[in-house]
Amino acid sequence: MVMDINEIREYLPHRYPFLLVDRVTELAIGESIVAYKNVSINEPFFNGHFPHHPIMPGVLVIEALAQVCGILGFKTVNKLPADGYVYYLVGSDKVRFKRPVMPGDKLTLEADVIKGKRGIWKFACRASVDGELACEAEIICAERKVA
Protein backbone atom coordinates (compact mmCIF):
# COMPACT_ATOMS: atom_id res chain seq x y z
CA MET A 1 0.00 0.00 0.00
CA VAL A 2 1.44 3.34 -1.06
CA MET A 3 -1.38 5.69 0.07
CA ASP A 4 -4.47 4.79 2.08
CA ILE A 5 -7.63 6.88 2.22
CA ASN A 6 -6.33 9.00 5.11
CA GLU A 7 -3.26 10.12 3.16
CA ILE A 8 -5.31 10.56 -0.03
CA ARG A 9 -7.54 12.99 1.89
CA GLU A 10 -4.44 15.05 2.70
CA TYR A 11 -3.66 15.41 -1.02
CA LEU A 12 -7.18 15.89 -2.40
CA PRO A 13 -9.61 18.54 -1.18
CA HIS A 14 -12.58 16.43 -2.38
CA ARG A 15 -14.95 14.82 0.10
CA TYR A 16 -18.00 12.55 -0.10
CA PRO A 17 -19.69 12.15 -2.49
CA PHE A 18 -17.00 13.50 -4.80
CA LEU A 19 -13.84 11.80 -3.55
CA LEU A 20 -13.35 9.14 -6.23
CA VAL A 21 -10.03 7.52 -5.24
CA ASP A 22 -9.92 4.79 -2.58
CA ARG A 23 -6.26 3.76 -2.63
CA VAL A 24 -2.99 4.50 -4.42
CA THR A 25 -1.00 1.32 -5.12
CA GLU A 26 1.96 2.70 -7.10
CA LEU A 27 3.55 6.13 -7.26
CA ALA A 28 6.69 7.31 -9.03
CA ILE A 29 7.04 11.01 -8.24
CA GLY A 30 7.15 13.09 -11.42
CA GLU A 31 6.37 10.06 -13.55
CA SER A 32 3.29 7.92 -12.87
CA ILE A 33 0.56 6.78 -10.50
CA VAL A 34 -1.74 3.77 -10.20
CA ALA A 35 -4.79 3.88 -7.96
CA TYR A 36 -8.25 2.43 -7.75
CA LYS A 37 -11.84 3.15 -6.90
CA ASN A 38 -14.21 0.47 -5.69
CA VAL A 39 -17.50 1.16 -7.46
CA SER A 40 -20.49 0.44 -5.22
CA ILE A 41 -24.23 0.41 -5.90
CA ASN A 42 -24.43 2.81 -2.93
CA GLU A 43 -22.90 5.63 -5.02
CA PRO A 44 -25.45 8.47 -5.12
CA PHE A 45 -25.27 8.87 -8.93
CA PHE A 46 -26.64 5.36 -9.53
CA ASN A 47 -30.08 6.51 -8.33
CA GLY A 48 -30.52 8.37 -11.61
CA HIS A 49 -27.87 6.92 -13.98
CA PHE A 50 -29.67 4.60 -14.71
CA PRO A 51 -32.05 3.11 -12.13
CA HIS A 52 -32.62 -0.16 -14.04
CA HIS A 53 -29.17 -0.40 -15.65
CA PRO A 54 -26.66 1.39 -13.36
CA ILE A 55 -23.60 2.78 -15.15
CA MET A 56 -20.98 5.14 -13.69
CA PRO A 57 -21.23 8.41 -15.65
CA GLY A 58 -18.31 8.90 -18.01
CA VAL A 59 -17.66 12.39 -16.68
CA LEU A 60 -17.07 10.84 -13.23
CA VAL A 61 -14.59 8.35 -14.70
CA ILE A 62 -12.75 11.38 -16.13
CA GLU A 63 -13.01 13.12 -12.75
CA ALA A 64 -11.54 10.06 -11.00
CA LEU A 65 -8.63 10.13 -13.45
CA ALA A 66 -8.17 13.87 -12.87
CA GLN A 67 -8.07 13.25 -9.11
CA VAL A 68 -5.19 10.77 -9.44
CA CYS A 69 -3.44 13.33 -11.66
CA GLY A 70 -3.89 15.87 -8.85
CA ILE A 71 -2.34 13.50 -6.32
CA LEU A 72 0.64 12.90 -8.61
CA GLY A 73 1.00 16.65 -9.20
CA PHE A 74 0.86 17.50 -5.50
CA LYS A 75 3.33 14.74 -4.62
CA THR A 76 5.71 15.85 -7.39
CA VAL A 77 5.86 19.50 -6.29
CA ASN A 78 5.66 18.63 -2.58
CA LYS A 79 2.58 20.77 -1.84
CA LEU A 80 -0.78 20.12 -0.20
CA PRO A 81 -4.27 21.61 -0.39
CA ALA A 82 -3.68 22.62 3.27
CA ASP A 83 -0.90 24.90 1.97
CA GLY A 84 -3.51 26.77 -0.08
CA TYR A 85 -3.12 24.99 -3.41
CA VAL A 86 -5.56 23.18 -5.67
CA TYR A 87 -5.29 21.31 -8.96
CA TYR A 88 -8.00 22.22 -11.46
CA LEU A 89 -9.05 20.01 -14.32
CA VAL A 90 -8.58 22.45 -17.22
CA GLY A 91 -8.76 20.18 -20.25
CA SER A 92 -9.18 16.74 -21.69
CA ASP A 93 -8.24 15.49 -25.13
CA LYS A 94 -8.53 12.21 -26.99
CA VAL A 95 -11.22 10.95 -24.59
CA ARG A 96 -12.58 7.53 -25.51
CA PHE A 97 -14.90 5.24 -23.57
CA LYS A 98 -14.50 1.54 -24.32
CA ARG A 99 -16.73 -0.22 -21.77
CA PRO A 100 -19.24 0.78 -19.10
CA VAL A 101 -18.24 0.89 -15.43
CA MET A 102 -20.83 -0.74 -13.22
CA PRO A 103 -21.48 -1.47 -9.53
CA GLY A 104 -19.10 -4.10 -8.22
CA ASP A 105 -16.26 -3.05 -10.53
CA LYS A 106 -12.81 -2.19 -9.23
CA LEU A 107 -11.84 0.75 -11.42
CA THR A 108 -8.06 0.93 -11.86
CA LEU A 109 -6.86 4.48 -12.54
CA GLU A 110 -3.47 5.12 -14.16
CA ALA A 111 -1.74 8.35 -15.18
CA ASP A 112 1.67 9.02 -16.71
CA VAL A 113 3.17 12.50 -16.92
CA ILE A 114 3.52 13.67 -20.51
CA LYS A 115 4.88 17.07 -19.52
CA GLY A 116 4.76 19.68 -16.80
CA LYS A 117 5.68 23.34 -17.04
CA ARG A 118 4.92 26.29 -14.75
CA GLY A 119 2.12 24.53 -12.89
CA ILE A 120 0.40 23.12 -16.00
CA TRP A 121 0.54 19.33 -16.27
CA LYS A 122 -0.49 17.00 -19.08
CA PHE A 123 -1.08 13.31 -18.36
CA ALA A 124 -1.79 10.18 -20.40
CA CYS A 125 -4.56 8.41 -18.48
CA ARG A 126 -6.27 5.04 -18.52
CA ALA A 127 -9.13 3.59 -16.52
CA SER A 128 -9.66 -0.16 -16.64
CA VAL A 129 -11.66 -2.95 -15.03
CA ASP A 130 -10.03 -6.38 -14.67
CA GLY A 131 -7.42 -5.39 -17.25
CA GLU A 132 -10.04 -4.31 -19.79
CA LEU A 133 -9.78 -0.68 -20.91
CA ALA A 134 -12.83 1.35 -19.87
CA CYS A 135 -11.59 4.86 -20.74
CA GLU A 136 -8.51 6.60 -22.04
CA ALA A 137 -7.78 10.32 -22.18
CA GLU A 138 -5.14 13.00 -22.04
CA ILE A 139 -5.89 15.21 -19.05
CA ILE A 140 -4.57 18.70 -18.37
CA CYS A 141 -4.46 20.04 -14.81
CA ALA A 142 -3.34 23.41 -13.52
CA GLU A 143 -1.91 24.10 -10.07
CA ARG A 144 -3.32 27.28 -8.53
CA LYS A 145 -2.88 29.10 -5.23
CA VAL A 146 -6.26 29.77 -3.61
CA ALA A 147 -7.12 32.19 -0.84
Q: How is domain 3-41+50-143 classified at the CATH fold level?
A: Thiol Ester Dehydrase; Chain A (3.10.129)
105-128 burial by CB neighbour count: b if 16+ within 10 A, else e? bebbbbbebeebeeeebbbebbbb
pLDDT, tens digit, 9 for 90 and up, residues 91-123? 999 999 999 999 999 999 999 999 999 999 999
Q: Would you call 52 a catalytic residue per the annotation?
A: no
Q: Where are the domains of the chain?
A: 3-41+50-143
Hey, what's the torsion of the CAs at 18, 105, 66, 5, to 10 degrees? 60
Specify the pTM.
0.97
Mean pLDDT confidence for 78-85: 95
